[in-house]
Each structure stands twice: as C-alpha cells, then as structure tokens.
C-alpha cells in the first residue's frame, strides 16, 4: 500500500511537470496579410492582429463576399521559415464547399479546429455577406500534434469558380521552451 501511494505521488509530480511543460509552449500569431484580387467579389474591412499579452495575440478579420459563391477552392501552403520561405510539410488544394460538409482532410481539420469557434464560416455553401473571425488566438491544447520550434507561414489562396479572389497569409511562432517556468 505504502509503495502504491508513493507511486501515486510520483505520478502526480510527473503530471504537474507536464502541466508546466505546456505552460512553457509559446504558440502565437506574428503576422497577418489579407489581400483581395477582385474587389467586386470580396472586400476586406479589417484584417488585424492585436497583442493582448506577451504571448497572446488576437486575430480579427472582417470581410464581405458581395455575390453568393458556390464553388470555393482553398489552396493552402505551409512554410517553415528558414533562409527565406521554403515549402515544408504541406501544399494542398481542397474543395471548401465539400470540406464544411465533411471534414475530409486531416491537416485542414487541424487548422479548422483551431479557429472555427471564432468564426461564422462553419456552414455549407453558398457564402455571401459578412465573413468574420473575431478575437481568434492560437491555443496549444487544440493543436494535438507535435511541431518543431520555428516560425511558420500558412499561406491560403481562395479561389471562387476556380479563379483566385484573395489571399490570407498567417504567420505564427511555435516555441517549446523546456527550461522556462512561468
Ligand atoms: C502570401 O504568401 C505567399 C507565399 O509566400 C506569397 O506568394 C503571396 O504573395 C502572399 N500574399 C500576400 C497578399 O502577401
Ligand atoms: C470578379 O468578380 C466578379 C463578381 O463580382 C466575377 O463575375 C468575375 O468573374 C470575377 N473576376 C475574376 C477574374 O475572378
Ligand atoms: C465589418 O465591417 C463592416 C463594414 O465596415 C461593418 O459594417 C460591420 O459592422 C463589421 N462587422 C464586425 C463584426 O466588425
Ligand atoms: C468541417 C466541420 O467541422 N464542420 C462542422 C460544422 O459544425 C457542424 C455543427 O456544429 C458540425 O456537425 C460539422 O462537423
């Protein structure tokens, strides 16, 4: 019995150290660019990051789709910064209308899981009117996949009817610091 209790205590200490470890992960947005290439279909009113703490940065995006769209292609490219940008891990094009019906792409699902609660885009096609992302920030606990320390860029080109309409480029930092104890 005694040794079992001792093991429980050890296990609790182990869990606590994992908790500290999670605290020591920095996962934050560092840059955001939105650009419409066809102002008669998509306009951006707001596309901004705001730091609200040393390691917490909020993303706000407000755009309008001026005519209903039923054909959305999403071309996502994931870069890890090293001597300029170079492709790393991922380059994919998915059918956006199909994806919101059935999340059929694992990497897109990770990205979607991170931000869907902050946005009004989780509905099926067509899309029209205000497209909002409000006070979104990166939460490490929702990531659930390992990622090496580094600076990353997720560049997304949005195509309507197979034609490029706009870009959203989001940069973020992921830093694992095992020595830091907040
Ligand atoms: C987004 O990132 C890609 C890849 O670096 C780049 O080619 C594109 O010009 C960027 N778009 C904007 C609007 O900056
Ligand atoms: C720009 O948007 C209009 C809809 O307002 C559309 O008819 C046209 O095809 C689009 N042009 C391009 C190059 O995507
Ligand atoms: C988005 O921008 C439009 C146009 O400026 C504005 O009317 C609307 O209130 C904004 N929506 C949000 C949620 O900020
Ligand atoms: C792609 C995705 O996650 N879609 C979800 C949108 O929200 C509905 C209702 O909450 C879910 O059933 C979908 O899975």
| Residue 85 CB less than 6 A away from ligand 3 | no
Ligand 1 site, residue 161, Cβ cutoff 6 A = no
- Which of 34, 118, 129, 130 is the best mutation target for the ligand 3 pocket, counting ligand atoms within 8 Å of the beta carbon and taking the most? 130
Burial (CB count within 10 angstroms: exposed 0-12, middle 13-18, buried 19+), residue 114: middle
What is the distance between the alpha carbons of residues 54 and 160, in angstroms, rounded to a whole number?
A: 37
- Burial code (b: 16+ CB inside 10 Å, e: under 16) for 54-91 equals ebebbbbbbbebeeebeebbbebbbbbeeeeeeebeee
Residue 157 alpha carbon to ligand 1 centre in Å:
9
For ligand 4, the distance from its centroid to the CA atom of residue 99, given in whole angstroms, is: 10
Euclidean distance between CA atoms 25 and 21, whole angstroms: 7
Question: How close is the Cα of 132 to the center of ligand 3, in Å?
Answer: 9
Domains of the chain: 22-176 (2.70.220.10)
Is the Cβ atom of 122 under 6 angstroms away from ligand 4? yes
Of 120 and 14, more confident: 120
- Helix, strand or coil for residue 173? strand
Residue 146: the pLDDT is 82
Question: How confident is the model over 71-126, as pLDDT tens digits?
Answer: 999 999 999 887 666 666 689 999 999 999 999 999 899 999 999 999 999 899 99
Percent of the chain with pLDDT strictly greater than 70: 80
pTM score, whole prediction: 0.84
CB distance 45 to ligand 3 below 6 Å: yes
Do the Cβ atoms of 75 and 95 come closer than 8 Å? Answer: no
Supply the pLDDT for residue 14.
52
Helix (H, G, I), strand (E, B) or coil at 82: coil
Residues 32, 49 contacting (CB under 8 angstroms): yes
CA distance 118 to 16: 30
- Give the closest ligand to the alpha carbon of residue 160: 2
User: How many whole angstroms separate alpha carbon 103 and alpha carbon 39?
Assistant: 29
């Amino acid at each position: 019995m005694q040794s079992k209790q001792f093991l429980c205590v050890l296990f609790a200490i182990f869990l606590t150290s994992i908790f500290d470890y999670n605290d020591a992960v920095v996962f934050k947005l560092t840059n955001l660019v939105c650009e419409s290439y066809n102002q008669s279909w998509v306009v951006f009113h707001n596309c901004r990051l705001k730091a609200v703490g040393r390691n917490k940065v909020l993303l706000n995006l407000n755009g309008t789709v001026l005519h209903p769209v039923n054909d959305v292609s999403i071309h996502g490219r994931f870069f890890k910064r090293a001597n300029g940008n170079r492709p790393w891990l991922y380059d994919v094009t998915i059918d956006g209308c199909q994806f919101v019906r059935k999340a059929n792409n694992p990497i897109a699902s990770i990205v979607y899981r991170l931000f869907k609660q902050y946005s009004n885009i989780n509905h099926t096609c067509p899309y029209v009117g205000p497209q909002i992302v409000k006070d979104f920030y990166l939460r490490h606990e929702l990531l659930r996949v390992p990622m090496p320390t580094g600076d990353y860029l997720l560049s997304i080109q949005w195509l309507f009817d197979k034609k490029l309409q706009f870009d959203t480029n989001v940069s973020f930092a992921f830093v694992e610091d095992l020595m830091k104890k907040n």
